[in-house]
Amino acid sequence: MKAALIMEDGSLFDGISVGVAGETIGEVVLNTAVTGYQEMMTDPANAGKILVLTYPLIGNYGVAKKFNESGRVWVSGLIIKEPSRIYSNWQAEGSFDDFLKREKVVAAADVDTRTLAITIRDKGQMLGMISTRSSDRDKLLKKLRQEKKNGRADFISAASTMKAAEIKGKPSGARIAVLDLGMPQSLIRQLKTLGCNITLLPYNTSAQAIRAMKPDGLIISSGPEGDAAIAKVVDEVKTLIGKVPMLGIGLGHEIIGLAIGAKLKKMKVGHHGVNYPVRGADSFKGEITVQNHSYVVDEASIPKKAGVNITLRNINDKTVEEMESRTSKFISAQYSPASPGFEEVNPLFCRFLKLCAPKNTRPRNSSANTETLKRKECLEYAKA
C-alpha cells in the first residue's frame, strides 16, 4: 500500500505504508539520531509530531519493553527510509513492524528522507499529513489546511500521571516531586539510581499542594512543546519560584523561563538529535548533549531581576541551553540530561540534588560541565 506525506508548503513525498493505514496530521520534525527509534516514539515530548528519522535503516535491533519512555507511542506519525525486515539483538522482544502495528502507528517508509530533511531545513518546520488513502496533492493539501484549524494540542493532560504516584527510593534519599508533563522513564531511572524518593504529580497539581508536600526539590519535567496546558502550569510554577529548589528539563525549562517573565522563541528547525554541542560563556570546555526542542527561551527577554545565569549555550546558534539562578534556586536545562551509560547518571541531576540539600549530598560525578579547565589542570586530570 502506498503512503504519502503532504506538507503545508505543498510538497509531497511518496512512500509505502508501514504500520497501519490511515491519515494523521502533525508538525513534521526531524531527528538525526542513528539509534533510539523506540525511545523517540514513546517519549511524550514528541506527542503529536510526525517524526522523520534521517538515518535510513530503522528497526534493525527490534523493540523491547525496557526501551519504552512511556506506556505508549506518542508520535502522530512516522516517516522513514527503510524498515528492517528482521531484527537482531539479544535484548529484542519483537519486531519493529509488529510494534508499529500494535501501537497503530500510521507511518510511511521508502521516503526520500534526505530530500525531506533538506526541505524542512530550508523552509522550516511545518505541519504535514501522512495519508495512505490518497496521493493527490491538491486533495491532501486541502484536507491538511482544513484539519489545521481543528488541530489538537492537549497532549500533556493525556501523558501526565492521573494521580500522584510514589516511587520509593533509599530512606536517606532526597524527596523529589516531579511535575509530570510527560516525564520519560529514562530520566526517572536516573533519579532512582540516585536513591531519590519520587512523587510523580499530575500536571495540574496546584502550587499550594506542592508546597504543602515540602519536597526537597521539584522537577518540572519535559513534555510536548506548544501544548494547551502550558499557560496554566506556568501560573502555578510562578508562585513556586524561589520557594522550592527546582529543576526544569526541556519543556520544564521553558516553563521556568516563562514563569520568570522571559519569552519563548520558536526556531526555524529546532534541535532534534544526539550531537548538540553546548558550553558556558568564556569556557572552552563543553558537552555534547541530546536535544529535542523547537522552542528556546529568548535570552534577551529574560528579566534582569530574575538573577539568572546562562550557564550553557548551543555553540553554533548560541541559543540558551541551560540557566541557573542562585537566588531563585533553580537550574533548568533545555537539553535532555540523558544517562551517559548503564546505571549512570547525568551530572545535571547531581547538581540539582546539591541544590536541594547542599550539605548531605555527594554527587557521584564531580565533573560539572561548566568548569573551565586550564590546560595544565587538564593534563593532570588526564593523568589522574
Partner 1 sequence: MPKRKDIRKILMIGSGPIVIGQACEFDYSGSQACKALREEGYYTILVNSNPATIMTDPNMADVTYIEPLTVEAVTEIIRKERPDAILPTLGGQTGLNLAFFLMKEGILKKYGVESIGADVDAISRAEDRELFKKAMTEIGIGVPKSGIARSVEEGMKIGLGIGFPLILRPAYTLGGSGGSTAYNKEELETNLAKGLEISPVHQILVEQSVLGWKEIEFEVMRDCVDNVIMITSMENVDPMGIHTGDSVVVAPSQSLTAEEYAQFVNLSKKIIRKIGITGGGANIQFAQNPDNGHIVIIEVNPRLSRSSALASKATGFPIARVATKLAVGLTLPEVLNQVTGRTTAFFEPTVDYCVFKICRFTFEKFPGTQRILNTSMKAVGEAMSIGRNFKEALQKGIRSTETRRFGLGADGKDKITDAKLKNPSADLIAEIKEKIRVPNDDRLFYIRYGIMMGLSNDEIYELSRIDRWFIDNLREIVETEEGIKKHRNRHPENALKIPPEILLKAKKSGFSDVQLAFLLNSTEKNVRATRKKHNIKAVYKLVDTCGGEFKAEKPYYYSTYEKKSESEPSSNKKKVLILGGGPNRIGQGIEFDYCCCHASYALKEEGYESIMVNCNPETVSTDYDTSDKLYFEPLTVEDVMNIVDIEKPVGAIVQFGGQTPLNISGPLAKAGLHILGTSPESIDIAEDRKLFQHMLKKLKLIQPDNGTATSFEEAADVAKRIGYPVVVRPSFVLGGRAMEIVYDEKSLKDYMEKAVEASPERPILIDKFLEDAIEVDVDAIADGERCVIGGILEHIEEAGIHSGDSAMVLPPHTLGKDIIETIKKNTYAMAKELKVKGLMNVQYAVKNNIVYILEVNPRASRTVPFVSKAVAVPLAKLATKIMLGKTLKELGFAKEKEVECVAVKESVFPFVRFPGVDAVLGPEMKSTGEVMGIDSTFGMAYAKSQIAAGQKLPTKGNVFISVKNQDKRNVIFVAKKLADLGFKIFATSGTADALSSNDIEVKMLPKLGEGRPNIIDLIKDGKVDMIINTPAGKMTKEDETKIRSHAILYNVPLITTVSGAQASVNGIENLIKKPHMNVKSLQEYHKKIK
Residues that bind partner 1 (CB under 8 A): 30, 32-36, 38-39, 54-57, 60-61, 64, 67, 81-82, 84-91, 112-115, 117-118, 121, 269, 273-277, 279, 284-286, 288, 315-316, 338-342, 344, 367, 372-373, 375, 378-379, 381-383
Of residues 199 and 369, the one with the C-beta less far from partner 1:
369
Q: Give the nearest distance from C-beta 186 to partner 1 in angstroms.
A: 9
Nearer of residues 166 and 380 to partner 1, judged by Cβ: 380
Beta carbon of residue 302, minimum distance to partner 1 (angstroms, whole number): 23
CB 218 within 8 A of CB 180: no
From the number of C-beta atoms within 10 Å of its C-beta (0-12, 13-18, 19+), residue 310 rates as middle
CB of 137 to partner 1, least distance (A): 14
Shortest distance (Å) from residue 363 CB to partner 1: 17
Compare residues 70 and 199 and give the one whose CB is closer to partner 1.
70
E-strand stretches of the chain? 2-7, 12-19, 23-31, 49-53, 57-58, 77-79, 82-83, 106-109, 126-131, 165-167, 175-179, 197-201, 217-220, 246-249, 264-279, 286-297, 309-314, 320-325, 330-333
Helices (H) and strands (E) in the chain, counts: 11, 19
CB of 272 to partner 1, least distance (A): 9
Q: Which residues are 279's β-sheet partners?
A: 286, 313
* 127 backbone dihedrals φ, ψ, rounded to 5°: -75, 150
Residue 228 or 288 with smaller CB distance to partner 1: 288
CA gap 195, 371 in Å, rounded: 26
- Nearest CB to partner 1, comparing residues 42 and 76: 42
CA 175 to chain centre: 23
CB of 50 to partner 1, least distance (A): 17
Please provide residue 29's backbone torsions phi and psi, each rounded to the nearest 5 degrees. -125, 150
> Are β-strands 57-58 and 2-7 bridged in parallel, bridged antiparallel, or unpaired?
unpaired
Contact yes or no for 55/27 (Cβ under 8 A): no
> Shortest CA distance to 78 belongs to which of 41, 110, 115?
41
Sheet holding 217-220, edge to edge: 165-167, 197-201, 175-179, 217-220, 246-249, 330-333, 320-325, 309-314, 264-279, 286-297
- Residue 18: CB minimum distance to partner 1, A: 15
Q: How far is the CB of 340 from partner 1 (least distance, A)?
A: 5
For partner 1, which is the closer residue by CB, 20 or 274?
Answer: 274
> Residue 161 or 185: which CB sits closer to partner 1?
185
C-alpha cell belonging to residue 77: 506519525
Length of the chain: 384
Closest separation between CB of residue 381 and partner 1, Å? 7
Instruction: Pick the closer one to partner 1 by CB: 173 or 270.
Output: 270
User: In whole angstroms, how close is the CB of 199 to partner 1 at the nearest point?
Assistant: 26
Nearer to partner 1, 105 or 290 (CB): 290
DSSP structural state of residue 112:
-
Q: Which is nearer to partner 1, 54 or 328 (CB)?
A: 54
Nearest to 53 by CA among 98, 105, 11, 1: 105
